[in-house]
Amino acid sequence: MRRLPLLFILLFSLSTIYSQTNPYVILVSFDGFRWDYLNRGLTPNLDKIKNDGVSAISLRSVFPSKTFPNHLSIITGMYAENHGIISNSFPNFEKNYWYRMSDTTAVRDSKWYIGEAFWETAERQGTKTASYFWPGSEVQLEHRHPSYREFYEHEKPYEQRVEGVINWLQLPYEARPHFITLYFDDTDTYGHKFGPSSPEANEAIVRLDNIAGLLMKRLNDIGLKDSVNVIFVADHGMTEIFEDKVINIENMIKEYNCRFMDDGPLMQVEPSAENLTAVYEILKRNESHYKAYLKKDIPDYFHYNKNPLTFSILLAADIGWSLVTNRRSDWVSKSKGNHGYDNNHLDMHGIFLADGPAFKDGYQTGTLWNIDIYPMLCKIFNIYPRSNIDGELERIEFILKE
């Protein structure tokens, strides 16, 4: 008769070990949710997660502090220069094609994505994954995307996105994804249009907090709340911009035929080889509220000059200032907020909150780096990370339970 309790103990122990080695993680992106939006008294659901689990003062983005580069940095553990997505839109002049986040064909073409996303790492080592929107998840190569995915629909109701995740978690165990990404744009959209201090931005903060509450409620409804690790991040922050803080770069060098990439917080300029020195000297001489760098002199802390598609000259605007050309300046009068500035500026930092069985309880820490999330995920799932990442587990593993 003693064998029966021993059998129960053995089965319980095996199930515990199995659950520990097959965790659940939902990685939620609140686009443009600045680090201090949590301090406005508008986020009771996120406050509960903050108090119960782990919270960082801020999450440091990579340069440039834009949406696609940072989502790829979060999911690959690499700086933009290394994972390949150096901006939301950029050209390869040698091949005569462009990457644009609005171009479905381009964003699904795997040739642009040099870094390995976590879902690739996990799938190769036996963990099923899913994505309810995330830059890079739509690539067409079979071995480079999650087992389950939704193609981006900007107008897809937020509640349906949450329910889609819940449906995946109710699949039969052998078919169920254990790592899932989820994306929401509200704070970015309304931060751009109305500014980060606007009532409209506050309303967006409230909507996303309600979505966080809904997600946690639905996890509880299906009996998985205590089993799932939920991580809330933002790809970048947001800062106010002004119509009287605009610099027309093209007018400065109008006598030269230059190519331009990006505008606003940063701009890249490509003169002809024979005009490079002359153009750079003009831009350097007129340097006011921006910094001009030759590619080789871009500061090491930007981690941006190793990529072959980076232009010969980089201009980085002071916070709140905008760099424009003659062809694209109308957005300045229509926008009250922007991002893409020096990633060390606090306005460009986002949030990091996490709660679940892998994370410490009621633990607060300083600024975390978004490139360290990839190795942290590998640690949670007990899988091997890629060896060429920039992220460092040592900078973040202290937030995990031993």
The residues annotated as belonging to the active site are 67
DSSP string, 122-142: HHHTT--EEEES-TTTT-SSG
Q: Are 382 and 25 in contact (CB under 8 A)?
A: no
90 has which bridge partners? 99
One-letter amino acid for residue 389 of the chain = I
Long-range CB contact pairs, 356-359, < 8 A, 24+: 356/23, 356/24, 356/25, 356/53, 356/227, 356/228, 356/229, 356/230, 357/23, 357/226, 357/227, 357/229, 357/401, 358/23, 358/25, 358/229, 358/400, 358/401, 359/53, 359/54, 359/229, 359/399, 359/400, 359/401
| Neighbouring residues of 78: CB distance < 8 A, sequence distance ≥ 6 | 72, 115, 371, 374, 388, 389, 390, 391
200-210 burial, b for 16+ CB within 10 Å, e for fewer? ebbebbbebbe
How far the first Cα of the chain sits from its last, in Å, is: 37
Q: How far is CA 282 from the centre of its chain?
A: 35
